[in-house]
Structure 1
Amino acid sequence: MSFPASRTSEARLSSEATRPGTAGKAAPHAERIESLISAMTLEEKAGQLTIMPAALAPAPANAANPAAVPGSIEEQAQAVREGRLGAVFNGDSADWHRRMQTVAVEESRLGIPLLLAADVIHGFRTIFPVPLAEAAAFDADLARRTARAAAEEATATGIAWNFAPMVDISRDARWGRGVEGGGEDVLLGCTLAVARVEGFQGDKGLTDAGAMLATPKHLAGYGAGTGGLDYNSVDVSERTLREIHFPPFQAAFEAGALSTMAAFNDVAGVPAHANAWLMKDVLRSEWGFEGFVVSDYTGDFELIAHGLAEDERDAARLAFQGGVDMSMSSNLYAEHLPDLVRSGVIAEADVDVAVRRVLTLKAQLGLFDDPYGRLSPERVEANDQPRYRDLAREAGRKSIVMLKNDGGVLPLRRDQKIALIGPFAEGRDHLNGPWVLFGDPAYAVPVDEGFRAAMDDPANLTVVRGSEAEASLEGGIEAAVEAARGADVVVMVVGEGERMSGEAQSRIDICIPEPQRDLIAAVTAVGKPVVLVLKCGRALVLDETAKQAQALVVGWFLGVETGNALADVLFGAHEPSGRLPISFPRHTGQSPFHYDRKVTGRPPLSLEHGEEFKARYRETLNVAEWPFGHGLTYGDPVYEGLDVGDGTLAWDGELEVSATITNRGARAAEELAQLYIHDRAASVTRPIRQLKGFQRVRLEAGQSARVRFTLTRRDLMFVGRELSWTVEPGRFTVWIGPNAESGLEGTFELLAGDAASA
């Protein structure tokens, strides 16, 4: 890889990363592919480069994107029959998929199989926690297993290609699509990108009936939209692209991903859908990417609205010449590529290259050998309902983050009288989260149901909604207050409805909506212990009243096992083990906020107010309310005894950095030890901290353990002045601790060596 791969206890992202066994799978079909290309008309070639929404798709899939006109079922079948359509997406009917594949293979002139695709973001029938929530587990194996389960369910209906994972680094909580990614950190983002690609594609090769081709998206910089506004312009330096936004894509490609999706945004004035530097110079020439690029939903057509293209024909030209192989939803390639070739604007040989890429992937997926191989009646029948509930419950509880637990109000006692209050305290809505196209919310376990199953006497639970997500309920606050007065402890499930996060859901204010804030204020005024459980798909800003709750828990959107997963953790059957994959700022006005921001020439010298002419706000310091990596346990882990050896790292050597963690609490602790560094003097400014490793350790009450991290020169690399990865000798600060704003601090020095070997 061309970026430095840091190490964790769960994944080693290195240049030796192996790709699943797909090489050579298309070789037996190479002659056939060339024969097909030579026999195809321009219209048939354009058809292979066209993907449209399925004419038969579930309502949530149709609602997830702007309205499109895919044609009727018969019209779409005829397009396949005539070779004008090579792929469809977001259908889930195995019977319809079989019918369409039969038309493609047995009724079209050339018999080229259809490529069936879908947006399987965090589960197919079994809905797992949203990706941002799952990132809080800091667990590559978990991400791999949930992706594998999703692929097993989806491929049974014939789906061979997935528009996931989203690997965009997201650093502005106002942006709604951060819910689909791995958070703000590059190392964590790379780790999860690899795990999800491996999970979707499996370890048996892409021809396996359970393999689903992964599509890292969106290339590139989509998470850096100005103002946190979806689809907005991105204006970042090439250094920022190479150091922050590119690495997760590179990691995903090294893991075997053979397709990618262009981003909606422009970068420095050039939309990704027409960006030859990005798609050709970087993606193909620098990284050696051999797969194909698909547009995002009508992204090529939107070059007109960008002000780049004069009309649809010009948009098709710009997108194709910019390196986009396949057009999604707009039908622009089918309508305009043949004429662009006949008029000499685009060379037919270039079209052949794109067609060859698509046909090669179809061969690698085994579609030429067995076009019906993923259509398994037995597997489909088993997939009618969620198959992986135990895994969903495990993923849910591992995603939960406990921010605060004053007075040990958690875990709850099973014999307590509990008032469960809030718009998400009951019901099956708002549990699965956004981007659920194929899972039925009727199968989700509500919070109150999970609580009753965990309590000694379910009659001790009183449930009151109090308000809706964004609206008041008549008499709601009064009923909530009465319930709180009769309870030993109050649990409030508040935050965002599932349509408040996701695509096209940017927010100008990331606070809890006002009707819920009024509810929280009234209930906390009763004086009973209060536990706030935050339902959200982004970092939230809490007002002073909310922060006064004795306990605060981030409950995200946890999927089909929401109620049981929350009960597992809140009643103490399992330790809270999640950690924040994003920083929770103190104020919306701090956005974009991330822990690894750059050092300035006027950094604050203290955490006291009144210090002027420093990089700080008048009202608050630019620090997090709860920093990246933060999360509490029911134990009491204490860090001691940092050891950096002799404090020197030889140019070609290794340095072990270690510390002891002791659980001084009365309960077991699941602790995530984190290693951070800071380059104290470099040729370009460096972040105040960078995560370079993490290790999970379980400690029984009173138990100690030594955590050890190994650093090499590779871990210290950065994008230098020449916009290439480099490393420089010098002094570094190192921390081992529980989050990005604390920990044991030491120093070491990288000794000079042969710069040519960097």
Structure 2
Amino acid sequence: MKYPHFSLFCFLLLACFQITASSAQEKEIENKIENVLSKMTLKEKIGQMNQINGRNPTDNLYQQIRSGEVGSMLNIGSPELANQLQKIAKKESRLGIPLVIARDVIHGFKTMFPIPLGQAASFNPEIVEIGARIAAKEASEKGIRWTFAPMMDISRDARWGRIAESFGEDTYLSGVMSMAMVKGFQGTDLSNPSSIAACAKHFIAYGATEGGRDYNSTNVTQRQLRNIYLPPFEKSIREANCATVMTSFNANDGIPASGNEFLLRNVLRKEWGFDGVVVSDWGAIKEMVQMGFCEDNKEAAMKGVNAGVDIEMTSGTYLQNIEALLAEGKIQMKTIDDAVRNILRLKFKLGLFDNPYTNLTSKSSIYSQEHLDAAKQAAEESFVLLKNKNNILPLNNKVKTVAIIGPMADAPHDQMGTWTFDGEKVMTQTPLQALKKKYGKDVNFIYEQGLAFSRDTIKSNFSKAIEAAKQADVVLVFVGEEAILSGEAHCLADINLKGAQSELIEELSKTGKPLVTLVMAGRPLTIAKEVESSDAVLYLWHPGTMGGPAVADILFGKAVPSGKLPVTFPKYVGQIPVYYNHDRVGRPADKTETLLNNIPLEAKQSSLGTSSYYLDAGFDNLFDFGYGLSYSTFEYKNLVLSSDSLSQSDVLTVTVDLKNTGNFQATEVVQFYTADLSGSTARPIKELKDFKRINLKPGESKKVEFKLPIAKLAFWDINNNKVVEPGKFTLMVGGNSYELLQKGFTILQ
């Protein structure tokens, strides 16, 4: 006999116990913080706010640690050195306060996963969380307990090198993926030695930097901040308890992020209740002088501290100036104490006071089969099939000879992508290696590079590549960009394929052999011409350590592509910024308009119509957000809403029938969008609200269900209040942001 009331009672009792235990633990930590703080000198407090680069340690560094002038370090080269430094801090400093050792662990430590933009293409937060957990395990073995990731910047400009480090252009997708990565890094218990503190960066709006240039200004309104750029940070802090936040390099509306008291104190601390650490980006406090926001380093230190930046990364203005600023009354002791509380809280939560050392004798998990398998799965799920004319892919057993051509087919270093300080190219498995290893017994692979690297302009080896293509049943050409061409400070004004890669594709297409173009890159590239010349196109991003085996299995059908684009692909760089969820305009593009080559001579000024489009680029993008093909096909029908009239407290249930109408078992990413048809401000034409990965066998159907709390339709209105406004809405479901079933519903007053 079942006792539902008793079960409920037990559940509630357990929940209360967990809350009570958590509260007791937090109270204990706060008591410990106050105990340590009460014993600290001003010099020691300032030292906790000072983070230094430990790449080349000196005797002076050791003395700084002994005297309490260093609170955290980054770029420590080995776990042995980390333990040595911790021993000095713990045993030789007056209060024994441990250090926090930090490192940029962005998309893997040793086992490299796809770049974050590639991971976003998986639309699979589970694999993102697994990847971050693996990175945390591997990094923590080397003494690292804090990473400066994930990057949550909404990125709508492919010229910006750091788009590679982002989760793309969409606020909802970025929030889901960011939260997954935070959970992976931090685990269920931050004090576990295999957990590392995550860092939500860059706060805020860095992805909107002018011209797609790093370190540049942004001019984003408060309403845009609230609706677009802040939500991933809020989600990661409030729902995933992200331990730290990093300020961005940019000044928004003239105010540098590291000196923005409103955002750091009012929004982050007061509104969201954040009690973790705020750290500046590298040298960002000092750079406020260069920006003209501060007269000198002293004023920069004052503005950074007063704004709420707890730790200064590397530039040393806090260490040099806080004492004088306190004496002058320009900052208050309470402000310093609160910053130190936040820093000590992080160290207690990481368990560093009890166990600051790294175990040097435990068995390493680095490059374990479990880790490699997960990296391979992440790579497979990140690949986006953009074109597949006549179903040339997957390759079948009739294919006996394959030409492998191009500079990215066997580029182990570049395959890892940007931000791979600790990745090792000798451990990277490339497509050339994997294809020969897995399928070399049955298929004759002919390899000719054609170009030595992605920027190579020397065409002397084209003839060898063309001859190889003529001998083959299918040609695989691997192109893209080297890792150094994307990432921080690696911005581009031209995002075409570099070097002579485009010419190589053109010459190969002239052979008449089926041509499959595979692109490894850290950003969307303008590849309209190359897509036209190819029979199939597979976008690989920079896929990491296991990219090669993933490519091999995708090409031969052992795995089926399921990736979807997390960013819009422009046809021309001049279309940038381009993104699917732009606001409605008064004169939307009318596809009956005249394009450049059809304009008659001496046409009158108003003869071409007056809608929002480019004369030369037309009306469409190259590929839309959410786009991605499969080896199978899917049919959507019977979109049903639980109601077409709802109150603001209701939950809307939505179902759609999805059928696999192809010949392969495959996964479809079902995407769920809404559109607010009118509001107190102009509203986006559509917004992603949810998605699900659905795996179906050939001929199999499934009713896919979504739950939409109407409260999730809230936005920051004309008065900068977050509200759900009554009115008419459209709901849309489909396989990308363009091809969608849709129905209307109304939210009542």
TM-score when normalising by structure 2: 0.93
Q: 1:419 and 1:716, CA in 2 relative to 1: closer, same or farther beyond 3 A?
A: same
Once the two structures are TM-superposed, the CA of residue 647 in structure 1 deviates from its matched residue by 2.3
CA contact (8 A) 1:153 1:379 kept: no
CA contact (8 A) 2:115 2:417 kept: yes
The match for 1:399 is 382
The match for 1:677 is 674
| Structure 2 Cα separation of the partners of residues 437 and 660 of structure 1 | 46
Q: 1:719 and 1:30, CA in 2 relative to 1: closer, same or farther beyond 3 A?
A: closer
Once the two structures are TM-superposed, the CA of residue 453 in structure 1 deviates from its matched residue by 2.4
- The reply on whether 1:275 has 2:260 as its aligned counterpart is yes
Once the two structures are TM-superposed, the CA of residue 292 in structure 1 deviates from its matched residue by 1.7
The match for 2:498 is 513
The match for 1:185 is 170
The match for 1:13 is none
SS of the residue aligned with 1:304?
A: helix
CA contact (8 A) 1:401 1:632 kept: yes
CA contact (8 A) 1:184 1:581 kept: yes
Q: 1:250 and 1:638, CA in 2 relative to 1: closer, same or farther beyond 3 A?
A: same
Once the two structures are TM-superposed, the CA of residue 115 in structure 1 deviates from its matched residue by 1.0
The match for 2:587 is 602
CA contact (8 A) 1:92 1:438 kept: no
- The reply on whether 1:689 has 2:689 as its aligned counterpart is no
Q: 1:88 and 1:25, CA in 2 relative to 1: closer, same or farther beyond 3 A?
A: farther
Q: 1:125 and 1:92, CA in 2 relative to 1: closer, same or farther beyond 3 A?
A: farther
| Structure 2 Cα separation of the partners of residues 723 and 471 of structure 1 | 51
The match for 1:49 is 49
- The reply on whether 1:216 has 2:213 as its aligned counterpart is no
Equivalent residue for 1:447, pick from 431, 446, 451? 431
Amino acid at match of 2:500: P
Once the two structures are TM-superposed, the CA of residue 364 in structure 1 deviates from its matched residue by 1.4
| Structure 2 Cα separation of the partners of residues 622 and 107 of structure 1 | 67
Once the two structures are TM-superposed, the CA of residue 380 in structure 1 deviates from its matched residue by 6.5
Q: 1:699 and 1:570, CA in 2 relative to 1: closer, same or farther beyond 3 A?
A: same
Once the two structures are TM-superposed, the CA of residue 671 in structure 1 deviates from its matched residue by 0.9
| Structure 1 Cα separation of the partners of residues 208 and 657 of structure 2 | 38
The match for 1:242 is 226
Once the two structures are TM-superposed, the CA of residue 646 in structure 1 deviates from its matched residue by 4.7
- The reply on whether 1:656 has 2:653 as its aligned counterpart is yes
Q: Structure 2: which 5+ residue stretches go unaligned?
A: 1-17, 596-607
Q: 1:474 and 1:403, CA in 2 relative to 1: closer, same or farther beyond 3 A?
A: closer
Residue identity over aligned pairs, in percent, reads 37
The match for 1:725 is 722
The match for 1:359 is 344
CA contact (8 A) 2:400 2:443 kept: no
The match for 1:110 is 95
1:167-211 deviation digits (Å, cap 9, x = unpaired): 1111111111011111111111111111111111101x2111111
The match for 2:534 is 549
Equivalent residue for 1:425, pick from 405, 409, 414? 409
Amino acid at match of 2:34: E
Amino acid at match of 1:252: S
- The reply on whether 1:737 has 2:727 as its aligned counterpart is no
Amino acid at match of 1:538: R
CA contact (8 A) 2:427 2:545 kept: yes
| Structure 1 Cα separation of the partners of residues 491 and 107 of structure 2 | 20
Once the two structures are TM-superposed, the CA of residue 92 in structure 1 deviates from its matched residue by 4.1
| Structure 1 Cα separation of the partners of residues 686 and 290 of structure 2 | 40
SS of the residue aligned with 1:403?
A: strand
Equivalent residue for 1:495, pick from 474, 477, 480? 480
Equivalent residue for 1:715, pick from 712, 717, 721? 712
CA contact (8 A) 2:482 2:521 kept: yes
Q: Structure 1: which 5+ residue stretches go unaligned?
A: 1-17, 57-71, 753-758
1:393-450 deviation digits (Å, cap 9, x = unpaired): 1111111110110111100135431111111111412111000111211100011011
1:73-111 deviation digits (Å, cap 9, x = unpaired): 322222111111111112241110100000000011111
1:267-312 deviation digits (Å, cap 9, x = unpaired): 1000001111111111111111111210000000101110111111
| Structure 2 Cα separation of the partners of residues 686 and 520 of structure 1 | 42
Equivalent residue for 1:284, pick from 262, 269, 280? 269
| Structure 1 Cα separation of the partners of residues 704 and 532 of structure 2 | 33
CA contact (8 A) 2:589 2:619 kept: no
SS of the residue aligned with 2:478?
A: strand
| Structure 2 Cα separation of the partners of residues 92 and 744 of structure 1 | 54
Q: 1:742 and 1:21, CA in 2 relative to 1: closer, same or farther beyond 3 A?
A: farther
Amino acid at match of 1:319: G
CA contact (8 A) 1:452 1:458 kept: no
Once the two structures are TM-superposed, the CA of residue 543 in structure 1 deviates from its matched residue by 3.7
The match for 2:128 is 143
Amino acid at match of 1:391: A
SS of the residue aligned with 1:576?
A: coil
1:120-175 deviation digits (Å, cap 9, x = unpaired): 10111111111110111111111111111111111122221111111111111111
SS of the residue aligned with 1:116?
A: strand
Q: 1:108 and 1:592, CA in 2 relative to 1: closer, same or farther beyond 3 A?
A: same
Amino acid at match of 2:50: T
Give RMSD over aligned pairs.
1.9
- The reply on whether 1:376 has 2:373 as its aligned counterpart is no
- The reply on whether 1:88 has 2:73 as its aligned counterpart is yes
- The reply on whether 1:643 has 2:640 as its aligned counterpart is yes
The match for 2:9 is none
The match for 2:371 is 388
The match for 2:605 is none
Equivalent residue for 1:574, pick from 559, 577, 589? 559
Once the two structures are TM-superposed, the CA of residue 47 in structure 1 deviates from its matched residue by 0.8
Once the two structures are TM-superposed, the CA of residue 459 in structure 1 deviates from its matched residue by 6.3
| Structure 1 Cα separation of the partners of residues 351 and 177 of structure 2 | 27
| Structure 1 Cα separation of the partners of residues 592 and 530 of structure 2 | 23
1:579-633 deviation digits (Å, cap 9, x = unpaired): 1111111111110111000110011233654552101111133432111111111
1:9-56 deviation digits (Å, cap 9, x = unpaired): xxxxxxxxx999975545435444334333333222111101111235
SS of the residue aligned with 1:605?
A: coil
| Structure 1 Cα separation of the partners of residues 19 and 433 of structure 2 | 43
How many residues in Structure 1 have an aligned counterpart in Structure 2? 717
| Structure 2 Cα separation of the partners of residues 96 and 735 of structure 1 | 55
Equivalent residue for 1:129, pick from 105, 114, 118? 114
The match for 2:209 is 225
Amino acid at match of 2:64: A
CA contact (8 A) 2:137 2:365 kept: no
| Structure 1 Cα separation of the partners of residues 365 and 671 of structure 2 | 41
Amino acid at match of 1:46: I
The match for 1:119 is 104
Q: 1:107 and 1:385, CA in 2 relative to 1: closer, same or farther beyond 3 A?
A: farther
1:152-163 correspondence runs (5 A): 152-163=137-148
| Structure 2 Cα separation of the partners of residues 733 and 179 of structure 1 | 32
Q: 1:645 and 1:38, CA in 2 relative to 1: closer, same or farther beyond 3 A?
A: closer
